[in-house]
Structure 1
Amino acid sequence: MVAEVQPGLMTNDSRCGINFSEGRWPLVFIYSVVFTLALVAHLLTLGPIIQQVRSHNILGVYLLNLSLSDLLYTLTVPLWIHYYYNNHTWHMGRHVCHIAGFIYYSNTYISIFMLCFISLDRCLAVSFPLWAKAFRKPRYGWYISAFVILGVMGVHLPVALVNSNNNTLVNGSSEMKDCYDSYPLSTLVAKFNYIRITFGFLVPLALLIFCNFQVFKGVRKSSSIQDKSKRKVKLLSIWVIVIFAFCFAPYHIILFLRTIMSSLHPGSCDFDRHVHHLFSFSLAMSSLNSVADPFLYVFSSNCVREDLTEISRSFCAHLGHRWPPHSSSKLSIRQLSTRVVTSWTALDKI
């Protein structure tokens, strides 16, 4: 005898009756762009970041850990492209799914916390330069980075283990209907969502707003900082805020609404069906932080933008393209790295 299902309620096997084939191409496109741009950007900036670490710059320590986390996630993006192309069906085995999902969610919150500590470091450097000098040492950067990475992974590991028992296999094979998707949300996942929304987004957001407000106020009042340096510091702060607002906020807002509705109406699929495509799109947009992070600080310097322009001109000149007469100069990647390090060192002294 088949059990009756109340209106608006569906079993997890049905995945709320959502048509996952709709909207798959925009998702495939976004993740493809993320993979291409993020991989190139991180490979180009990893060298200068390592040079910053060698010069005992605490900003370089934060950037290196952020870059490695982003790069690790970027290498898993092709798996997600394949997943969305196949209408949210996972073909690569249960264990690969859990590893890829664990890396994705860990990277999201590692990025959030690293951006917060970078903003806090800038805030201390601008507001309390003499007092903060004793604490802005590379070893403290390594301690904080290790605390963030191990803390985030430690929190997500139990969730990954629980999630491993909730995936639905297709015909007993390694093919799964979903990977880190939950339609409707389970009670356990909903409880965990409240924790990560509060401590993984709202608290860091409040800290970020406070720190950058202090940075803007300190830079505006300072008479010892040159206008060009002020512009760099402001641009850095603005970019951090943009990443939070554009990459992380939409996903967490919709996740919060889904969690509330799941708590008020356990097992209901109505709200999930209405916001599924928007939620998937916000999840894809959150991955764009891997593209934005490498450019966050490098392109806050005018000379870096000019140097990259010269590199592109020189490269195209070798391919036989004609450029205007004033672009005949050529710049090597090594020279670019040196200028990037010089720009970052100057920024770190502020």
Structure 2
Amino acid sequence: MMAVPNDSTTLNSTFFPHTSENIENQTCTDWPRVPMITIIPSIYTVICILGIIGNTLAVCVLAHTSTSRRTVANMFMLNLCVSDLLFLLSLPLWAVYYSRGYNWPFGQVACKISGSLHNLNLYASIFFITCMSVDRYLALVHPLRSQSVRDPKRAKLICILVWILACACTAPTIALRDTHYIKEYDVEACAIIYPDHTWYQSLAWMKVLLGFLLPMIIISCCYCAIGCHLLAGFGDIGLRKPSHFGSTFKSSGSQESSSRTERPPTPCVNPSSSGSRPKEGRGLERVLWTVAAVVLAFFLCWFPFHCVTFIDILQSDGWLDGCWVNWTISNLTPLTLCLGFSNSAINPVLYCFMGNHFRGRLGALSKGLCARLKAPDEDNSQKRGSFSTRLSSFSRKLSDLKDLAIVEAPAQT
């Protein structure tokens, strides 16, 4: 951490570079530094554009779903997309911040709001993904007993509680993040100055535990239980299939035996339930894989950042030291943060490419929008057509009157 001169407070490095006396020593001059001023704004710009487009489409599709088809999982996904979208709207400010060499030009209020949206998204996203995982566990492992629990009204209440909990975890950031003039760099930084080291340790551990470790333990337990349940179900199916088909063969007639000689039955398909259960199974499997992909993407995107945060905690307590530690914290914190931010742009891509229902609803919504846009043009063309028709009929009447006047004039003379 960077010590502020003549003060015992410490400066947050989430959006400000680390410096240390060891970095300035001759023994550490060989360690290359990453050009953050050019790399980070470019990455932020790509993430912002792709993420805003994807999450906006996802919010439109999920919000326009009919009430009868609005599931608990869709509600959690909708809130996850809203959380990502709120943060992505603040990302251009951070891109400008990095491009100006960590100089914040947007004022105190924008600094607090932008920093708070970052922390809010960090907590809200993992909380909603945890809710989605628990919902999949209840739906697949306890489908009957969980019907009363998995209710859209209760899901709305859970979403409200998640937002309240995420805001509570973000409250210290709102209070502590501010603009500070850093004399060593001659910049107006948007950073957190902690009252003492205990504050830094407490908030850093809260970020690691509540924002990553505990939710990942819950998610892992849910998917381990789902995997064991599915494997046990496949085992039961394998044990039941021979007796089922044996009884079917015994009770069949001559026509059924002749059809078996032409096309023998496949022992992996239950003919008595081939109408609806395979489709339902494929739908559950699709939802399961979608949620699993979202969880895996979150883990891969945010795990490196929390690892660097853990190294930072150990270094601040004196457990780790050296050039590699300072280089890792100084250079990998912004890069791993970029990787974490990319998760906000990856989630809607997973919905689009892995969810057939999502693609179908997106296509239907696009067709409806195109139809609405075409309707005013058709009305205008009809109005123009009717006006031209009336104008032509009026001109014909005028020409008829002129001809009549010409014909009547000689008769009067």
Shared fold, TM over 0.5: yes
What's the CA shift for 1:21?
7.5
The residue aligned with 2:333 is 279
The residue aligned with 1:218 is 229
Q: Does 1:16 align with 2:49?
A: no
For structure 2, the residue ranges without an aligned partner over 5 or more in a row are 24-31, 238-276, 370-413
Q: Is the 8 A contact 2:173 2:192 kept in 1?
A: no
Q: Is the 8 A contact 1:186 1:267 kept in 2?
A: no
Structure that is richer in strand per residue? 2
What's the CA shift for 1:152?
1.3
Task: For 1:92 and 1:113, locate their aligned partners in 2 and report how far apart those are by CA, in whole Å.
Answer: 30
Q: Does 1:168 align with 2:168?
A: no
Q: Is the 8 A contact 2:177 2:193 kept in 1?
A: no
Q: Is the 8 A contact 2:135 2:150 kept in 1?
A: yes
Task: For 1:180 and 1:186, locate their aligned partners in 2 and report how far apart those are by CA, in whole Å.
Answer: 15
The residue aligned with 1:249 is 303
Task: For 2:203 and 2:159, locate their aligned partners in 1 and report how far apart those are by CA, in whole Å.
Answer: 23
What's the CA shift for 1:197?
0.9
For structure 1, the residue ranges without an aligned partner over 5 or more in a row are 312-330, 337-350
Task: For 2:298 and 2:163, locate their aligned partners in 1 and report how far apart those are by CA, in whole Å.
Answer: 19
Q: Would the alpha carbon gap of residues 293 and 14 (structure 1) be closer, same or farther in structure 2, given more than 3 Å must change?
A: closer
Letter in 2 for 1:58: V
What's the CA shift for 1:20?
8.2
The residue aligned with 1:326 is none
Task: For 1:130 and 1:11, locate their aligned partners in 2 and report how far apart those are by CA, in whole Å.
Answer: 53
The residue aligned with 2:189 is 178
Task: For 2:188 and 2:33, locate their aligned partners in 1 and report how far apart those are by CA, in whole Å.
Answer: 11
Q: Is the 8 A contact 1:169 1:177 kept in 2?
A: yes
Describe how 1:187-336 pairs up with structure 2 within 5 A. 187-220=198-231, 221=233, 228-229=282-283, 231-264=285-318, 271-302=325-356, 333-334=366-367
Larger radius of gyration: 2
Q: Percent identity?
A: 24
Task: For 1:84 and 1:21, locate their aligned partners in 2 and report how far apart those are by CA, in whole Å.
Answer: 13
Q: Is the 8 A contact 2:177 2:191 kept in 1?
A: yes
> With structure 1 as the length reference, what TM-score do the two structures score?
0.75
Matched residue SS, 1:179? strand
Q: Does 1:36 align with 2:90?
A: no
| Number of residue pairs aligned between Structure 1 and Structure 2 | 303
Task: For 1:96 and 1:239, locate their aligned partners in 2 and report how far apart those are by CA, in whole Å.
Answer: 34
Bigger Cα displacement from structure 2, 266-275 vs 20-29: 266-275
Task: For 1:54 and 1:77, locate their aligned partners in 2 and report how far apart those are by CA, in whole Å.
Answer: 33
Q: Does 1:124 align with 2:138?
A: yes
Among 153, 164, 169, the residue aligned to 1:139: 153
Task: For 1:143 and 1:306, locate their aligned partners in 2 and report how far apart those are by CA, in whole Å.
Answer: 29
The residue aligned with 1:45 is 58
Task: For 1:260 and 1:53, locate their aligned partners in 2 and report how far apart those are by CA, in whole Å.
Answer: 50
Task: For 1:267 and 1:159, locate their aligned partners in 2 and report how far apart those are by CA, in whole Å.
Answer: 27
Matched residue SS, 2:173? helix
> With structure 2 as the length reference, what TM-score do the two structures score?
0.64
Letter in 1 for 2:216: L
Matched residue SS, 1:180? strand
| Residues 113-169 of structure 1: per-residue CA shift (max 9 Å, x gap) | 0001001101100000011111111111111111111111122212321233xx422
What's the CA shift for 1:26?
2.3
| Residues 24-48 of structure 1: per-residue CA shift (max 9 Å, x gap) | 3221122111111111112212222
Matched residue SS, 2:103? coil
Letter in 1 for 2:46: V
